[in-house]
Structure 1
């Protein structure tokens, strides 16, 4: 699948960049591109795998023909279970196997090319201070993003922090409530009051993660919440604009919109 012989990350930074690129591609397949991904995983076809590439692209394809393959292979036959379980459960299952594959590829590069002792890749041993492991561990897993666990954890952490701060933010209406629009707008000009509100908004939502790409909330980006799963998304990740959002009463993300195909 990958031209691994021509692409060999050798440093911690290069392996982490490779990890993030492959992860971003697989997150796209399971969130913003879920319709296309679902269609490509035809149970009538042979064993299929979900591949993520350093270029942040994804592909559903047959496993490599050579044995052993150049890189570890993803889970085989993800397409066979597609129609045998509810779609959200199937996507969660694929997400778990995708996380396992990403770690195996990172371990492969670390073991094959070797890092300095201080940067050695230790994914299992309970040792702290391993740089690559910590960098990977700082990111939510694909499973956490697909199931919404990452957002729940962020909310829990923010709630814990807010207990030690003032209650001022509690008087603000909840973002995404029935009385508020399900999106934020990029403001071209702000007076002092607006800037103050935006600062409060940044503090409250700065750790919120996009359900598609897994990146953090930013005040200068268009942001929309799904009424079904209550995950937040960058508008660009779900191909939504502020103008279109103005006319949507109840927004559903690509994953929730496709759940109508799920079988009980």
Structure 2
């Protein structure tokens, strides 16, 4: 496979070559999430299998299935980005994909660094070169207004947000993560009593305090996060959550 593909014989071996590879892949991902976003959006059909967003050194991008070989030639991007496409506002979904794209770009760059035994000074120089650029996430939220932090409902009445400091030095991605306080025994007991008879709208299983739940703002039904493919991190980017059923009904009415 050539330099425009996922891996193969293309192997940058110097800091400058790895940085050039990074620039090309980054450019392709930015195109997918900004100027060519409608094409990217259409390709991420939730009805298809687990899909990934790839950026290539040629500044092209591709939505495709993950590599079949194990382990793959290069680190793989986030798997299944298409499943969350219709479960949150479009801008929030694009921002989430951008965050994972930044993580993938760094993993690929440092894969080459490890494979070709970059020493400490070379690794530091590579990181500094990368860090001088805005992240994909910063570019994407700059072209579409940064989503407001979501006060996502959970069964626990005690919620708090904490800034995830320290990540900026790694990828400059700064966002807040929703944290549910479930380590207070007394409050957990009260929570179980109040919500013990609540059933998940998807699997119909009972509420459990050690699991993440999310409430649909339309039908007000509760769901296990895992049943609707929403994690606490994803939930933090959602302004108004719509369950799969309500999202589907809205599309039918619009048609």
TM-score band, normalised by shorter chain: 0.5 to 0.7
Match of 1:80, SS state, is helix
Match of 1:28 in 2: 31
Whether the aligned pair in 2 keeps the contact of 1:10 and 1:114 (CA below 8 Å) is no
User: Structure 2 matches for 1:27-176, cutoff 5 A?
Assistant: 27-119=30-122, 121=123, 130-148=124-142
Q: What is the CA deviation profile of residues 30-71 of structure 1, one whole-angstrom value per residue up to 9, with x for unaligned ones?
A: 000000000000000000000000000000000000111010
Change (3 A) 1:150 1:9: farther
Whether the aligned pair in 2 keeps the contact of 1:22 and 1:102 (CA below 8 Å) is yes
Displacement of 1:4 in angstroms is: 2.6
Aligned equivalents of 2:115, 2:145: Cα separation in 1: 35
Whether the aligned pair in 2 keeps the contact of 1:144 and 1:150 (CA below 8 Å) is no
Structure 1 spans left out of the alignment, 5+ residues? 122-129, 153-262
Q: What is the CA deviation profile of residues 175-230 of structure 1, one whole-angstrom value per residue up to 9, with x for unaligned ones?
A: xxxxxxxxxxxxxxxxxxxxxxxxxxxxxxxxxxxxxxxxxxxxxxxxxxxxxxxx
Aligned equivalents of 1:107, 1:38: Cα separation in 2: 29
User: Structure 2 matches for 1:193-208, cutoff 5 A?
Assistant: none
Aligned equivalents of 1:31, 1:83: Cα separation in 2: 18
Structure 1: 4+ residue segments shifted above 2 A: 1-5, 115-118, 149-152
Aligned equivalents of 1:143, 1:94: Cα separation in 2: 8
Aligned equivalents of 2:144, 2:18: Cα separation in 1: 23
TM-score, length-normalised on structure 2? 0.54
Displacement of 1:91 in angstroms is: 0.1
Match of 2:129, SS state, is helix
TM-score, length-normalised on structure 1? 0.52
Whether the aligned pair in 2 keeps the contact of 1:140 and 1:150 (CA below 8 Å) is no
Alignment coverage as a number of residue pairs: 145
